[in-house]
Structure 1
Amino acid sequence: MFSLRKEQVFQTHYEYSIDHESVVIKASLYCCEELLCCLKGVSSYGRDVITRVMQWRIVSTLRHAV
Protein backbone atom coordinates (compact mmCIF):
# COMPACT_ATOMS: atom_id res chain seq x y z
CA MET A 1 0.00 0.00 0.00
CA PHE A 2 1.31 3.42 -0.92
CA SER A 3 0.99 6.43 1.37
CA LEU A 4 2.23 9.97 1.09
CA ARG A 5 5.20 10.98 3.22
CA LYS A 6 3.11 13.31 5.42
CA GLU A 7 0.56 10.54 6.01
CA GLN A 8 3.11 8.05 7.40
CA VAL A 9 2.84 7.18 11.09
CA PHE A 10 6.56 7.56 11.83
CA GLN A 11 8.50 10.56 10.57
CA THR A 12 12.11 11.56 11.09
CA HIS A 13 12.88 14.03 13.88
CA TYR A 14 15.71 16.53 13.32
CA GLU A 15 17.27 19.04 15.73
CA TYR A 16 20.02 21.59 15.38
CA SER A 17 23.49 20.23 16.13
CA ILE A 18 24.88 21.97 19.24
CA ASP A 19 28.49 22.19 20.41
CA HIS A 20 28.13 21.27 24.09
CA GLU A 21 31.40 22.92 25.16
CA SER A 22 30.55 26.41 23.87
CA VAL A 23 26.72 25.95 23.70
CA VAL A 24 26.60 27.28 20.13
CA ILE A 25 24.70 25.83 17.17
CA LYS A 26 27.22 24.31 14.75
CA ALA A 27 27.63 25.77 11.26
CA SER A 28 28.54 24.02 8.05
CA LEU A 29 32.19 23.72 7.05
CA TYR A 30 31.35 25.12 3.63
CA CYS A 31 29.04 28.01 4.53
CA CYS A 32 29.08 29.76 7.91
CA GLU A 33 25.47 30.93 7.43
CA GLU A 34 24.14 27.37 7.08
CA LEU A 35 23.24 25.79 10.44
CA LEU A 36 23.62 22.03 10.86
CA CYS A 37 20.65 19.82 11.62
CA CYS A 38 21.10 16.19 12.55
CA LEU A 39 18.83 13.19 12.86
CA LYS A 40 17.84 12.64 16.51
CA GLY A 41 15.06 10.05 16.26
CA VAL A 42 11.50 9.55 15.10
CA SER A 43 8.24 11.44 15.58
CA SER A 44 4.83 9.81 15.87
CA TYR A 45 1.46 11.35 16.79
CA GLY A 46 3.13 14.56 18.02
CA ARG A 47 5.61 12.79 20.32
CA ASP A 48 9.35 12.69 19.68
CA VAL A 49 11.32 9.53 20.48
CA ILE A 50 15.07 10.18 20.65
CA THR A 51 16.93 7.14 19.29
CA ARG A 52 20.32 8.73 18.58
CA VAL A 53 21.81 9.45 22.00
CA MET A 54 25.53 9.16 21.24
CA GLN A 55 27.67 11.75 19.50
CA TRP A 56 30.49 10.18 17.53
CA ARG A 57 33.88 11.71 16.87
CA ILE A 58 36.88 10.57 14.85
CA VAL A 59 40.10 10.03 16.79
CA SER A 60 43.35 9.03 15.16
CA THR A 61 45.08 6.10 16.85
CA LEU A 62 48.02 5.59 14.51
CA ARG A 63 50.92 3.76 16.13
CA HIS A 64 54.41 3.74 14.77
CA ALA A 65 56.37 0.51 14.48
CA VAL A 66 59.12 0.15 17.06
Structure 2
Amino acid sequence: IECAQKIGYQLGITNVNGDNKITMPNSKSEVKQLLYFLDQGYFNSIITNELMLTNSKRPIRI
Protein backbone atom coordinates (compact mmCIF):
# COMPACT_ATOMS: atom_id res chain seq x y z
CA ILE A 1 0.00 0.00 0.00
CA GLU A 2 2.84 2.33 0.91
CA CYS A 3 4.64 1.80 -2.40
CA ALA A 4 1.47 2.46 -4.38
CA GLN A 5 0.89 5.70 -2.47
CA LYS A 6 4.45 6.87 -3.15
CA ILE A 7 3.90 6.76 -6.91
CA GLY A 8 0.24 7.80 -6.83
CA TYR A 9 -1.12 4.41 -7.92
CA GLN A 10 -4.67 3.72 -6.71
CA LEU A 11 -4.34 0.19 -5.35
CA GLY A 12 -7.70 -1.38 -4.57
CA ILE A 13 -7.67 -3.02 -1.14
CA THR A 14 -10.43 -5.07 0.50
CA ASN A 15 -10.42 -6.27 4.09
CA VAL A 16 -11.36 -9.95 4.33
CA ASN A 17 -11.51 -11.44 7.83
CA GLY A 18 -8.99 -8.90 9.11
CA ASP A 19 -6.56 -9.41 6.20
CA ASN A 20 -5.98 -6.80 3.49
CA LYS A 21 -6.36 -8.26 0.00
CA ILE A 22 -5.68 -6.63 -3.36
CA THR A 23 -8.90 -6.14 -5.31
CA MET A 24 -8.72 -7.33 -8.92
CA PRO A 25 -9.95 -4.60 -11.31
CA ASN A 26 -12.69 -5.27 -13.87
CA SER A 27 -11.29 -3.64 -16.99
CA LYS A 28 -8.45 -5.09 -19.04
CA SER A 29 -6.44 -1.86 -18.94
CA GLU A 30 -6.68 -1.62 -15.15
CA VAL A 31 -5.62 -5.28 -14.79
CA LYS A 32 -2.57 -4.53 -16.97
CA GLN A 33 -1.70 -1.53 -14.80
CA LEU A 34 -2.01 -3.62 -11.63
CA LEU A 35 0.21 -6.38 -13.04
CA TYR A 36 2.76 -3.81 -14.21
CA PHE A 37 2.78 -2.27 -10.72
CA LEU A 38 3.21 -5.68 -9.04
CA ASP A 39 6.04 -6.51 -11.47
CA GLN A 40 7.85 -3.31 -10.41
CA GLY A 41 7.27 -1.66 -13.77
CA TYR A 42 7.01 1.88 -12.38
CA PHE A 43 9.69 4.00 -10.75
CA ASN A 44 10.38 7.62 -9.83
CA SER A 45 13.26 9.21 -11.70
CA ILE A 46 15.92 10.41 -9.28
CA ILE A 47 16.77 13.32 -11.58
CA THR A 48 13.34 14.69 -12.51
CA ASN A 49 11.21 12.91 -9.87
CA GLU A 50 8.81 11.95 -12.67
CA LEU A 51 7.00 8.62 -12.71
CA MET A 52 8.58 6.39 -15.36
CA LEU A 53 7.91 2.98 -16.91
CA THR A 54 10.68 0.41 -16.99
CA ASN A 55 11.62 -1.51 -20.10
CA SER A 56 14.22 -3.71 -18.41
CA LYS A 57 14.58 -5.39 -15.05
CA ARG A 58 18.36 -5.76 -15.25
CA PRO A 59 20.22 -4.24 -12.30
CA ILE A 60 22.97 -1.80 -13.20
CA ARG A 61 26.26 -1.46 -11.43
CA ILE A 62 27.76 2.01 -11.32
TM range, smaller chain: under 0.3
The structure carrying a bigger helix percent of its residues is 2
Q: Quick check: which one's strand share is greater? A: 1
TM-score, structure 2 normalization: 0.25
- Greater relative CO (CA pairs within 8 A, separation 6+): 1
